[in-house]
Amino acid sequence: MMQATEASTDRPKVEPMTDLSPETRDQESMVPLQHAVAAHAIPPQALAQLARDWLREDTPNFDPAGVCVGSGNVEARLFCKMAGSILAGGPFFTAVFTELGCTVNWLFPEAAEMGPDGITLVAEVRGPARCLLLGERPALNCLARASGIATRCARLRAMAAAAGWHGEVAGTRKTTPGFRLVEKYAMLVGGASMHRQDLSGMAMLKDNHVWASGSITKAVQATRTVCGLTSKIEVECGSAEEACEAAAAGADIVMLDNLPPRELHAAAQLLKQGFPALLVEASGGVGPENLPQYFGPHVDIISLGCITQGCPVVDFSLKVQKPSCAPGGPARGAVAAAAADPGLP
């Protein structure tokens, strides 16, 4: 059995995803810089704590299956089985295995598009067998979820670029409890705006705030007393009249919520004429199927809850290699073997 002292004292340091093999560095030129280095925004202590929490959730007590595999060193290969997907979540994947004394060698950088083959060898993981298998599911969960969000964001951004719209496609706070850092990070990798990260990041006054305060003006004025110079105030509005009241009261951003596209663009134009510095956000009922209807010269931001809610995940598989597939054996042939293996989880 692997001694706990070895796992804790000899544990490799968590490194950013930009420390890659020479072949992978060559591919970084294909990835927009701001997306490829988004990992540098993640606090290392947050990475380590999340990894520990996920591992503790999945193995709160004994690991009976660990007895049959032992602690001999093995290699596993990470495959992506959905061509066209955007790779995201590598720092979290690596952090899980780092906690267990394993190492990860990435063959692609963050934000790289997988393919063109149906199955792509993405990374290699090495370490004690039982430790590698302890990290398998938590690490794959992070990668699958983050890559799914990044893929959706990249496609939404591509739609905006094709239409010549230069505003921000943004996410929301509709994130999975306890998983927000991963999901917000995935938005960055996919090229979308995170919007506000939490309630402290920006004051957003919604209908319930307004009803409890008495009016939009009262709500904005009261909130401004504690926001100071560093925090913006956004107000959710259901009509052009409400939006004009919010702008006149000093809101920095007005969200036009659940307005039909034609009505929304007319309201946005009216707001920009009266308040040129105001940011106008469209939200509510927006999805990939109707996003182009919300592009317009007076709309600065379009936020979509579907970036995180109901977003498909990307299919990854981690396969431990038999000795014949170890270094020196038919290494790259493993991709073909994986494609023919109906038992891939």
Q: What pLDDT was estimated at residue 264?
A: 97
Q: What pLDDT was estimated at residue 30?
A: 42
Please, which pLDDT band fits residue 22 given cuts at 50, 70 and 90?
A: very low
Q: What pLDDT was estimated at residue 37?
A: 77
pLDDT tens for 106-153 read 999 999 999 888 999 999 999 999 999 999 999 999 999 999 999 999
* Catalytic choice (174, 206, 218, 232): 174
Please, which pLDDT band fits residue 248 given cuts at 50, 70 and 90?
A: very high
pLDDT tens for 183-202 read 999 999 999 999 988 998 89
d(CA 189, CA 112): 9
Q: What pLDDT was estimated at residue 228?
A: 79
The pairing of beta strand 120-128 with beta strand 73-80: antiparallel
Q: What pLDDT was estimated at residue 12?
A: 36
Q: Which of 15-29, 189-203, 277-291 is the least confident region?
A: 15-29
- Residue 13 class from Cβ within 10 Å (0-12 exposed, 13-18 middle, 19+ buried)? exposed
Please, which pLDDT band fits residue 10 given cuts at 50, 70 and 90?
A: very low
Handedness of CA 335, 339, 343, 345 (dihedral sign): positive
Q: Is the pLDDT of residue 336 over 50?
A: no
| Mean pLDDT of the 286-310 span | 96
Three-class SS state of 131: helix
Q: What is the pTM of this model?
A: 0.83
Please, which pLDDT band fits residue 340 given cuts at 50, 70 and 90?
A: very low
User: Does 174 qualify as catalytic in the annotation?
Assistant: yes
Q: What pLDDT was estimated at residue 322?
A: 85
Which of the pair, 129 or 333, is modelled with greater confidence? 129
Q: Is the pLDDT of residue 262 over 50?
A: yes
Task: Count CA within 13 A, CB hemisphere, residue 167.
Answer: 21
Tokens in use for 149?
């969000």
Q: What pLDDT was estimated at residue 201?
A: 86
Q: What pLDDT was estimated at residue 223?
A: 95
Task: Report the phi/psi class of residue 280: left, alpha or beta, with left for phi > 0 and alpha for psi in -120 to 50.
Answer: beta
Q: Is the pLDDT of residue 304 over 60?
A: yes
Contact 99, 48 (CB under 8 A): yes
B/e letters for 202-228, b = 16+ CB within 10 Å, e = fewer, are bbbbeeebbeebeebbebbeebbeeee
Tokens 């934000």 appear where?
Answer: 111
Contact 133, 69 (CB under 8 A): yes
- Output the 3-class SS for 172-237: CCCCCCCCHHHHHHHHHHHCCECCCCCCCCCEEECHHHHHHHCCHHHHHHHHHHHHCCCCCEEEEE
d(CA 318, CA 138): 12
Contact 119, 79 (CB under 8 A): yes
Please, which pLDDT band fits residue 229 given cuts at 50, 70 and 90?
A: confident
Handedness of CA 78, 84, 89, 91 (dihedral sign): positive
Q: What pLDDT was estimated at residue 34?
A: 54
Q: What pLDDT was estimated at residue 162?
A: 96
